[in-house]
Amino acid sequence: MKNSVIKIHPKDNVIVALRNLQSGETVHFQEEAYTVTEDIPAKHKFFIRDMQPGDAVLMYGVLVGNAQQFIPAGALMTTTNIKHAAEPYAFRESHYKWHGPDVAAFKNVTFNGYHRTDGSVGTANYWLFIPTVFCENRNLDVMKAALQESLGYAVTDQYKNFTQYLIEAYQNDESIEGVSFENIAKPSVNKLFKNVDGIKFLNHQGGCGGIRQDTAVLGKLLAAYANHPNVGGVTVISLGCQNLQLQELLSEIKSNTSNLEKPLFVFEQQQIGNESMLIAEAIRATFKGLIQINQMDRKPAPLSKLTLGVKCGGSDGFSGISANPAVGYCADLLIALGGKVLLAEFPELCGVEQELIDRMNNKAIAQKFIHLMQAYSVSALKVGSGFHMNPSPGNIKDGLITDAIKSAGAAKKGGTSPIVDVLDYTEKAVKPGLNLVCTPGNDVEATTGKAASGANLILFTTGLGTPTGNPVCPVIKVSSNSSLAEKMQDIIDINTGPVVEGELTIEQMGTQILEYCIKTASGEITPKAVLLNQDDFIPWKRGVSL
């Protein structure tokens, strides 16, 4: 590790510890010496000068909090000595100019994807089951058990084998502690349909009850998934009497595209009557559809056909220093090549609104962002919460003391390019460049929303580790530190720890991330979340979710 500490922005009055610092230790950064007055754990911050009550705390060059008491230079930042604060924001004519990165090395690079009739290109080829209402979840579970294991898409056989070994040990009066999971061979996967990447099921808790606005949004969300470029075919299962009527969903699906030619099968239980017949006929039709979409082959496509979602979850004090900026550089590369990037999690943009607005050269787009942010904030305050309550106990324990600190680091995932559009939940991204998408910060609600807006890959950074995935959009996990990458090898795909350790620059790491994305988009690499069938899907009801 070349440096023990880092000052992220010249304006900052706090320093980040890259390793554990001992009380009384003096460290150096850019020809300046700093002495800490107490132990500073790695990822945490200390103050470079005495702070008086009310003084502004600056990090990433923006206001992230106010001192609540006298704080001596070298002291640890805590939830007691500072509280969240953020600057007000408004549209102003900034005439933002962007100097994109050099993309000469990627100019003629393509990925191999599935070309759809509407002109989009998928990075995968999934069959999707959609229920119009939660009443059909059990039927979906029955079909999932029947189809996934039989067709080679299940990943649970190893655990079944482990359980069987435990049963046999118990029946033979042997110690179950002697049964080693690591020594149990993982069954080989033999997919019947080589060009079908999986069969996915969008179980959810909506479609009836609640308020009609939630039902309407759910219909738009499900339709967006049906039209997703990574989806080759769809089976819709309906009960019949629910709020989300079948014809309403089908109308939403058709309104999203002028040229839907993928196979779409519809079954309504109250019309068919017999449940076993419903399930059998749905399986039969789906099997025919799988034969059809299995005829598709991957073909070369320009990188401009990629839509990349960027997300962080289980963040730590290194996320905004290594993983997020590296993903941001990857985003800049893709945008310079004509692709789309989706930055969401509006509660995690609190404190950097002005910086983002200044990257919007269109007043109408800026006003839409301001309206969505303010309405979201007001709804949180009305129930006694607020964006300032966003950081989780894990975030705080690992150095993200205020929401503005978390947000300033989280926003780095979006890179530095101009913002071309602002999208409400379920709106589709149509403009090449950086798009902001209104979603909660909640990991699954955010990834669910990004996929609905068209992301066909998601880069998910984490400092603490999270197993989140998505049913139709491959999620690539990016670790902010090497310790996590080593400890949770089964869920981490990319390690940006070498940035913290001084071995790679942000630019070098970001370039490697884009190369990884291209291989994933081509089917050459399967992310860990996909291998583990981490198909998380939670529709946002537009209530208060941070």
pLDDT at 157 over 80: no
pLDDT (average), residues 245-254: 95
Looking at the chain, the whole-number percentage of residues with pLDDT higher than 90 is 85
Q: Is the pLDDT of residue 464 over 70?
A: yes
Return the pLDDT at 545.
67
Which of 420-432 are b and which e, b meaning 16 or more Cβ less than 10 Å from the residue's Cβ?
A: bbbbbbbbbbeeb
- Which of the four pLDDT bands, split at 50, 70 and 90, describes residue 258? low
Mean per-residue pLDDT, 526-530 = 96
Residue ranges of alpha helices (H) inside 152-262 are 157-171, 212-226, 246-255
The arithmetic mean of pLDDT across residues 391-395, rounded, is 89
pLDDT score for 188: 66
Residue 1 pLDDT > 70:
no
The beta strand positions in 181-243, using DSSP E, are: 198-201, 231-238
| pLDDT higher than 80, residue 8 | yes
Q: How many CB atoms are closer than 10 A to CB 1? A: 9
Q: Which pLDDT belongs to residue 469? A: 97
Full set of structural domains in the chain with CATH: 5-84 (2.30.130.110), 116-153+189-299 (3.40.50), 307-531 (no CATH)
For the residues 210-227, what does the mean pLDDT come to?
94
Query: Mean of the pLDDT values across residues 237-261?
Result: 89
Query: What is the average pLDDT value for the chain, to the nearest integer?
Result: 94
Q: What is the pTM of this model?
A: 0.95
pLDDT at 542: 72
What is the maximum span of the chain, computed from C-alpha positions, in angstroms?
78
Confidence grade of residue 187 (pLDDT, cut at 50, 70, 90): low
Residue pair 532/467 in contact (Cβ under 8 Å)? The answer is yes
User: What percentage of the chain's residues is helix, strand, coil (to nearest 5)?
Assistant: 35, 20, 45
pLDDT score at 31 = 87
- 539 sits in which H/E element: none
Confidence of residue 326 (pLDDT cuts 50, 70, 90): very high
Q: What CA–CA distance (Å, rounded) separates 324 from 413?
A: 4
Q: Which amino acid is at 317?
A: G
Contact between 219 and 133 under an 8 Å Cβ cutoff? The reply is no
